[in-house]
Structure 1
């Protein structure tokens, strides 16, 4: 049963449970995809019916942001905790290396996915990278065909929301992958182009604040968090 927060249903799972489910999907027939919404993405879904359908159509909807956890508490439907997309993605890549499954990396600026591939192969011996492509393309269908031709079992789709969710919902089957994951800016972190917040910020659920300090231009995006909480409070009053 999913926890409904402003029209987006979140799976109420721990990280271990999410990874176990991810591995099950990876080893199953057909195409499956995972999304990791934060408050900003929920706000996008409120305004965009296609994005809402793509997010809710995922096989796993994981609560990436601490704002989602707070929102669930306000609505008296507590989630068991955050499941950060970068950590879930890392765990699934480790499983691919262990199981002999291949991975395709899609997204970020030219050259970033290639660097991420090198870093991940060094980090996880035996990992097979089926292919890479940057996120700067105009037509989706040829990219899906390229992923299928690579024979990848799993794809990291790091195109930003809602583009990545819409891509996975429409072209998941066409890629031939058993599992696709929408992981936003994770490619930059895997490549070393960007750094995740230090442990102190992660431990205290302040990653959003660290990102704002490092990149003040994000203030416009960060304003979605208080807007999200206003909407959650309004939903509670209903």
Structure 2
């Protein structure tokens, strides 16, 4: 049973349970996809019904960040813990490496996915890199065909929200991959282009503030966090 936070249904799982569930999806027939919404994406879903449908249609919906966890608690339906997408991806790649699974990286600027692939295969011996493609394309067809030909078991789709969620919902089955994961800007981190917040900031739920200090241009996007909390309070009042 999912926990409803402003219309988005989150799976109430720990990180270990999330990775176990993803590993099962990798072994199951058909295509499946994972999304990792944060408060900003929840607000986008409230504004865009297609995005809401794509997010809620995922096989796993994981709370990326403390904001969603706090929101769920305020609504009286607490989630077990936050499961940040980039950390989920790391644990999943460990599992995939141990099983000899292959990964395709899609997104970011030209050259970033290739560099991320080199670093990831060095970090996770046994992980196979099926292929890469940047996020600067107009036609889905050739990209989908390239993934299908690669035989990838899993695809990290890093196109930004809600584009990546819509892309996975539309094209997932055609790629031939068992699992697709929407992971935003993770490829820039994996490639060493962007630094993650230090552990202190992450532990105290301030990773968003660290990123804002590093990238002040994100202020417009960050303003969705207080808006999210306002909407949570309004929803709490309606539920009483």
Structure 1-normalised TM-score? 0.99
SS at match of 2:129: strand
Partners of 2:99 and 2:126 within 8 A in 1: no
Correspondence 1:220 to 2:214: no
Distance 1:237 1:141 in 2: 46
| Counterpart residue number, 2:203 | 203
How many residues align structurally? 238
Partners of 1:141 and 1:171 within 8 A in 2: no
SS at match of 1:106: strand
| Counterpart residue number, 1:118 | 118
Correspondence 1:93 to 2:85: no
Partners of 1:23 and 1:92 within 8 A in 2: yes
Distance 1:141 1:41 in 2: 26
SS at match of 2:170: helix
Distance 1:2 1:124 in 2: 32
SS at match of 1:135: coil
SS at match of 1:130: strand
The Cα of 1:141 is off from its aligned counterpart by 2.2
Distance 1:93 1:171 in 2: 22
SS at match of 1:193: coil
After TM superposition, the runs of 4+ consecutive aligned structure 1 residues lying more than 4 A away are none
| Counterpart residue number, 1:66 | 66
| Counterpart residue number, 1:137 | 137
SS at match of 1:95: helix
The correspondence of residues 113-192 of structure 1 with structure 2, limited to 5 A, is 113-192=113-192
Distance 2:104 2:81 in 1: 29
SS at match of 2:70: helix
The Cα of 1:91 is off from its aligned counterpart by 1.0
Unpaired stretches in structure 2, ≥5 consecutive residues: none
> CA-atom RMSD, angstroms?
0.6
Partners of 2:121 and 2:128 within 8 A in 1: yes
SS at match of 1:129: strand
Distance 1:126 1:81 in 2: 29
Distance 1:81 1:41 in 2: 18
SS at match of 1:218: helix
Bigger mean CA offset, 17-26 vs 138-147: 138-147
Distance 2:203 2:77 in 1: 23
The Cα of 1:126 is off from its aligned counterpart by 1.9
Distance 2:132 2:192 in 1: 16
Partners of 1:26 and 1:153 within 8 A in 2: yes
Distance 1:225 1:44 in 2: 11
Distance 1:203 1:226 in 2: 20
Partners of 1:158 and 1:164 within 8 A in 2: yes
SS at match of 1:87: helix
SS at match of 1:79: coil
| Counterpart residue number, 2:50 | 50
